[in-house]
Amino acid sequence: MQIIQDIALTKSLCRSLKQEGSLGFVPTMGYLHEGHLSLVKQSVKENPNTIVSVFVNPSQFGQNEDLATYPRDLERDVALLQECGVEYIFNPSTQAIYPNGFDTWVVPDKLADVLCGKSRPGHFRGVATIVLKLLNIVSPDHMYMGLKDFQQQRILKQMIIDLNLDCDIVACPIVREADGLAMSSRNSYLNPQQREKSLSLYQGLLKARELFAQGERDCGLIINTIKENIENSGGVIDYIECVDPLSLQSVQEAEADTRMMLAVYFGKTRLIDNMALKA
Ligand code: PAF
């Protein structure tokens, strides 16, 4: 297992790894859970070499967000990655990624104006910038990302097309706890009561699917039903929307590929989840 901090070393390592065949890449902010590990396992299965980055990216956190308290445990991450057969971890310092004088940003446009981009201004500018930097350093053939961050994955796919990058995104299914809560590093913030109530997100998404399967196509009505359940459980809704999966724009009439997207606060913890309306 090699844990590399240096950018130039990582670049030359990745160049030589690519001579052995395709290189898989999993970008993470650490504090890994089964969701991350499912991406890692898929990459290890599909590529002769896989590199995982562990970097808590300050530029994607807003001023009042949880950068300072974001959970970190590199030792544990390393052990988990080792068990999955990963041999290379890129773990740069903030100073190496954002040296003094850093002044160039990737600013996604319309896709970042909606949903999480609306409530977290600047978030996707930070995400797109760090991911482009990571792609330039690692030059992977395939980047593995989870569909829980549906908007992130969509924005980055568009960035790859728009900026002519030589990498594709392998979008992997959402991994859930046994009771259905989507796995997230932020779940660790929830107290036992919030954890129990947060199940209303998954239940809401299942209810939306059920309504769609019964023939309901009115997004307003589907959203209102779910809203009520979530609010009754104590969740404070940031957004619940039915969107087109490509444009991420809200739709009024549900179709098979319509995606139900939601972001809900339990206390200070903001959880996101999503599901296609058609099972
Ligand atoms: O999804 C995440 O963990 C982060 O947004 C990412 C892609 C690693 C960029 O910091």
Tokens 């201004």: give the residue: 121
**Percent with pLDDT over 90 in the chain:** 100
Mean pLDDT of 181-205: 97
What's the pLDDT at 43?
98
Mean pLDDT of 63-79: 96
Write the CB contacts of 81 (distance below 8 Å, at least 6 apart in sequence).
1, 32, 40, 52, 89
Closest CA to 142 of 24, 18, 13, 17: 24
Going by CA atoms, what residue is nearest to atom 6 of ligand 1?
Answer: 28
Relative to the CA of 56, which ligand 1 atom is closest? 10
H or E stretch including 145? strand 142-146
What's the pLDDT at 203?
97
pLDDT digits (tens, 9 = 90+) for 235-275: 999 999 999 999 999 999 999 999 999 999 999 999 999 99
What's the pLDDT at 224?
97
Residue 51 and residue 138: Cα distance in Å, rounded? 8
- Coil vs helix vs strand at 243: strand
Mean pLDDT of 149-158: 98
Going by CA atoms, what residue is nearest to atom 1 of ligand 1?
Answer: 28
Relative to the CA of 28, which ligand 1 atom is closest? 8
Residue 144 contacts residue 170 (beta carbons within 8 Å): yes
What distance in angstroms lies between residue 165's CA and the mean position of ligand 1's atoms?
A: 18
Mean pLDDT of 143-150: 98
**How many beta carbons lie within 10 A of that of residue 262, not counting itself?**
24
What's the pLDDT at 109?
98
What distance in angstroms lies between residue 133's CA and the mean position of ligand 1's atoms?
A: 12
Relative to the CA of 146, which ligand 1 atom is closest? 1
Burial class (CB in 10 A: 0-12, 13-18, 19+), 245: middle
Q: Which residues line ligand 1 (CB under 6 A)?
A: 27-29, 57, 60, 127, 130-131, 149, 152
Residue ranges per structural domain of the chain = 2-172, 185-273
Mean pLDDT of 74-98: 98
Strand partners, 89: 3, 52
Mean pLDDT of 71-95: 98
What are the DSSP calls for 200-231, one per residue?
Answer: HHHHHHHHHHHHHHTT--BHHHHHHHHHHHHH
Closest CA to 205 of 225, 191, 184, 235: 225
Q: What are the φ/ψ torsions at residue 143 (nearest 5 degrees)?
A: -115, 130
Q: Can you name the CATH fold of 2-172?
A: Rossmann fold (3.40.50)
**How many beta carbons lie within 10 A of that of residue 277, not counting itself?**
23
What distance in angstroms lies between residue 255's CA and the mean position of ligand 1's atoms?
A: 29
Write out the two tokens for 243: 């969107």
Mean pLDDT of 168-197: 97
pLDDT digits (tens, 9 = 90+) for 9-45: 999 999 999 999 999 999 999 999 999 999 999 999 9
Which of 6-11's residues contact partners 24+ apart within 8 Å by CB, and which partners? 6/92, 6/96, 7/92, 7/96, 7/137, 10/51, 10/90, 10/92, 10/137, 10/138, 11/137, 11/138, 11/139
Residue 156 banded pLDDT, cuts 50, 70, 90: very high
At the second CATH level, the architecture of 185-273 is: 2-Layer Sandwich (3.30)
Going by CA atoms, what residue is nearest to atom 5 of ligand 1?
Answer: 127
What distance in angstroms lies between residue 84's CA and the mean position of ligand 1's atoms?
A: 20
- Which residues are known to be catalytic? 36
